[in-house]
Amino acid sequence: MSPPPHDPTSGQRPNRSGTALTGTTRPSGRTAAVGTVLGDYERHLRLERGLSDHTVRAYLGDVVSLLGHTADAQQPGDLADIDLAALRAWLSRLKADGASRTTLARRSSAARTFTAWAARRGHLATDPGPLLMAPRPHRTLPGVLRQDQAAALLRMSASAAAEGDALALRDQALLELLYATGVRVSELCALDLDDVDYSTRVVRVAGKGGRQRSVPFGIPAEKALRRWLDEGRPTVVRVGSPPAVLLGARGGRLNQRVARTIVHQAVGAVPGATDMGPHGFRHTAATHLLEGGADLRTVQELLGHATLATTQLYTHVTVDRLKAIHDRTHPRS
């Protein structure tokens, strides 16, 4: 388990921006108590909420930043100092330091998550979080490929795999699955062999928070996947290789960074295409589903979004495209 971003027993304390200040005195009981609370909170985030390492680090970092803001010249931040005024002052300081609306919204959400947990555990007498207002973030989507561009990308991938090179076969399977399913790159790289059900053509993935879902894929993706598993994977598998669907050149589970590079290079070979990684490819799949007539609820389930509001962002993309087509083709546009 990774330690919290700030270890209050280390003789350092956070300053108002959340960075550590070197101390010369031994940590007080008050400091150690805060460290215990942070450790309990980390276990809550990891074990009870099932959040990823990256998300846990972000949540803990925001709490340390908040406690750093409540610190004075003599004492590190104390939980009892966290009230609505302290939360507002903390966000105001972050804004003055140049934090964006998106950052402020994320940090206020992290603070509300912490104060709700702290109040339930008895560390705070009341929870000030529900009264904290934060600016709504400007939510934007990256560019997406047109359907003809996606088709061109997959044709080039199939052409590269035609000669039977193992890694080219893997890359084709990766791209076909990403486009067919819209899964996250972390979900794709985590797929094991028994997560693929060929009888129904679905993959079982574990999404954010450990939420399980089944996502269908089509015949082109099935063909690419079967060829990789039959012809390519046996040539790179090694003794001790994991049961992963996608393997790296040395026989280990495919690294997410390598998967991102594969997508960037494939998109870069398409004339006029906007540069993107797996996340943009995921947006592309969702956009094309909606353009093809899929309803929002279905797309939400396929993508594993916790709320429909996230999925609704894609409607803006499709409406913009409809307007562009209308302006270009309608005689009275």
Asked if residues 82 and 126 have their Cβ atoms less than 8 Å apart, the reply is no
The phi, psi pair for 88, rounded to 5°, reads -65, -40
Residue 202's φ and ψ, nearest 5 degrees, are -135, 155
In the set 95, 213, 279, 321, the catalytic residue is 279
Is residue 184 part of the annotated active site? The answer reads yes
Which of the residues 69, 107, 227, 305 is marked catalytic? 305
The answer to whether 247 touches 254, Cβ cutoff 8 Å, is yes
3-state SS, one letter per residue, for 42-76: HHHHHHHCCCCHHHHHHHHHHHHHHHHHHCCCCCC
> Which of 15, 20, 17 is closest to 4 using CA atoms?
20
- Measured between its terminal Cα atoms, the distance across the chain in Å is 59
CA–CA separation, 87 and 83 (whole Å): 6
Residue 305 falls in the annotated catalytic set: yes
User: Is residue 6 flagged as an active site residue?
Assistant: no
Give the containing element (helix H, strand E) for 193. none
Choose, from 95, 101, 208, 321, the residue flagged as catalytic.
208
Catalytic residue among 16, 107, 123, 184: 184
Considering the candidates 41, 59, 179, 314, report the single residue annotated as catalytic. Answer: 314
Marked catalytic residue, from 16, 282, 283, 288 = 282
Residue 213 annotated to the active site: no
Give the DSSP H or E segment for 232: none
Q: Quick check: is 223 catalytic?
A: no
Q: Are 175 and 254 in contact (CB under 8 A)?
A: no
Q: For residue 159, what is the DSSP state? A: H
Q: Is 69 a catalytic residue?
A: no
Active site residues: 184, 208, 279, 282, 305, 314
